[in-house]
Structures are given as structure tokens and as C-alpha cells.
Amino acid sequence: MSLTIRLAETLRQAGDSAKGHYVIRAVDVKKIYRMGDSETHALRGVTLDVRRGEYMSIMGPSGSGKSTFFNMIGGLDKPSAGKVYIDQVDIAQLDPYELAWLRCRKVGYIFQTFNLIQVMSCIENVTLPMAFAGKDSEEARDRALEILEMVGLRDRALHKPAEMSGGQQQRVAIARALANSPDILLADEPTANLDLRTGEEIIELFRKLRDTLGVTIITATHDLKMLKASDRIVWIDDGRLARISTPAEANIQLEEVH
């Protein structure tokens, strides 16, 4: 199955290099939740392309469909109508095995509450996705140390999450997300549980990763500093794409939020 994905990917990239420019494409995505007789339209047709290596922020009030859209482009949910392509692959076509494969290697997830596995040490957390990817443990250990070095926590490799500060935990979580060299980092309010300074460190780390690894970063956030650091800001409201702007263009709104 992985071979098919790769093959399809290569073919598409070769045939249409312009499309390869986009790592995620959402085409008229709709999502309807049914509860008995009532229907909730979480998304009413969103079309959005995310460029490779882009740092994009998604904003929107709660209930706007922001989370639904975020889950959709992260391969965590499937659209009711429309298409979502992650690295040229239509996620609606994937079976559970392929979806797990995609989550394992294409997307790295970073959570508001860090979500490190509490019973595991720092390095075990980072090697976990590599174990799921079938990497042997020696190789995984070396790679984990390498990434931990990158996020500046190599010396804390054997510590448990409970022994670390929030900022450190989030950096471990970022290292874990990078384990299988994903194309996309998907971060859900990554700085919401951190103080201002630690939040800035995380933003700085994101920038560094984007510049050195060329990884695409998508965050859902209300953090002004995060918004300012991003290339584009996408506003979702009432299940629709309300506006796309650069931080400079959105300056007035940012101050309003402030």
C-alpha cells in the first residue's frame, strides 16, 4: 500500500510539477454532522491550497469549523463532500491502514496539551512513531537523539514528561512529531498552555524548522506572536473561508484582537 502511495505520488509529481508545489489541497470541503434528525454544517465548502514549506496559521472563533477543517487537512477526519489531498493523495480513498501510514510518516502532530505519553521517557516518546513506522530500535534511538539535539533537549533524553517544564514538554512533542521526517507539522494551539517567553521559544523553533527542514507548518492559534510569525493567516468563520491575508495586511485586526 505504501508503495502505491509513493508510486502515485511520484507519477503525479512528474506529470504535474505545479501541483507538487502544494502539500495540501482542500477543494470545496464540506462537513455535515448528523445527530438524529438535525444536521450541523461544520464546513460549507472550503477551498484552500497550502504551499510546501509554508508557515500558515488558521484562525476562527470557536464553533466556526476551524477545528473540523484543521482535523480534515491533518488526515484525522474525512470530508462529507469535496476533496482533501495531502501530498497529492485523496485521503477519502484511504483505508485505515493507509491512513495510519499517512499519519505516521506524512504528518507530525503537536497538541495544545503536549500529549506526551506519561509513562514513557522523553526518548521513548520520540522513538514511538518510529516503532510504528517499523524502524529498528538502534536506528530509532540514534535518530531520536539527533532530533532531541535539534530541539535542545538531548541531555534530558531519559527524563519523564512529569519532570519537565511545559516548554520542554512541548519541545519533546515537537521532536516526536519530527521523528519520521514528515512533510507537514500540524500544531493545535501549541503555545496556549505556555507562558509568553516559552511560547516565543516554540515559535522560534518552528521558524528554524521551517527554514532548515523545509517542513510545512500549519497551526490553529489565537497567539498574536504566532500569527505574526506566519506567512499567511487563514480566517474561518461559520464554516466558510472568510479571508486569507499576510500578517502585515492583518495588522489592524491583530490590534483589535489585542
Partner 1 sequence: MEQIGKQVRLPFRRALQIALSGIRIRFGRSLVTVSGVVLGIAFLMSNLTSQLIKQSIAQEAAQRNTVNLMLSLVKAEIGDVAGRRIAVATFGNLTAVEQLLLAQLKATADVREGAGATVRIVLGNQTNSPASLTTLTAGMSQSVVLDSLANRVYAGPTNGIRRELFFGTESAEQIAKQARQARADKFRNWWIVTISLLVTVFGVANALLMSVTERFREIGTMKCLGALSSFIRTLFLIESSLIGLAGSILGVILGALLPLVAYGFVYRFGLVFGTLPYGGLLGYAVMAVIVGTLLAVMAAIYPARFAARMVPAAALRSTV
Q: Which residues contact partner 1 by CB under 8 A?
A: 1-3, 67, 70-71, 76-77, 96-97, 100-101, 103-105, 109, 111-113, 115, 117-120, 128-129, 131-134, 176, 180, 188-189, 192
How many beta carbons lie within 10 A of that of residue 38, not counting itself?
7
Q: Which residues contact 190 (CB under 8 A, 6 or more apart)?
A: 110, 111, 112, 170, 202, 206, 219, 221, 226
Closest approach of Cβ 255 to partner 1, in Å? 27
Q: How deeply is 23 buried, as exposed, middle or buried, from its count of CB atoms within 10 A (0-12, 13-18, 19+)?
A: buried
Closest approach of Cβ 18 to partner 1, in Å? 29
- Count Cα atoms within 13 angstroms, Cβ side, for 198: 14
**Crossing angle between the packed helical segments 96-105 and 122-132, to the nearest 10 degrees:** 140
Residue nearer to partner 1 on the CB measure, 25 or 106: 106
Residue nearer to partner 1 on the CB measure, 131 or 254: 131
Closest approach of Cβ 126 to partner 1, in Å? 10
Residue nearer to partner 1 on the CB measure, 113 or 246: 113
Helix, strand, coil tally for the chain in percent (to 5): 45, 25, 30
Q: How deeply is 65 buried, as exposed, middle or buried, from its count of CB atoms within 10 A (0-12, 13-18, 19+)?
A: buried
Closest approach of Cβ 233 to partner 1, in Å? 20
Grid cell at residue 192: 496556549
Closest approach of Cβ 27 to partner 1, in Å? 21
Residue nearer to partner 1 on the CB measure, 94 or 229: 94
Residue nearer to partner 1 on the CB measure, 54 or 188: 188
Grid cell at residue 73: 487537512
Distance from CA of residue 206 to its chain's centroid? 11
Residue nearer to partner 1 on the CB measure, 209 or 220: 220
Closest approach of Cβ 110 to partner 1, in Å? 10
Closest approach of Cβ 136 to partner 1, in Å? 8
Nearest partner of 252 among 130, 243, 2, 95, judged by Cα? 243
Nearest partner of 8 among 109, 82, 73, 93, judged by Cα? 93
Residue nearer to partner 1 on the CB measure, 182 or 247: 182
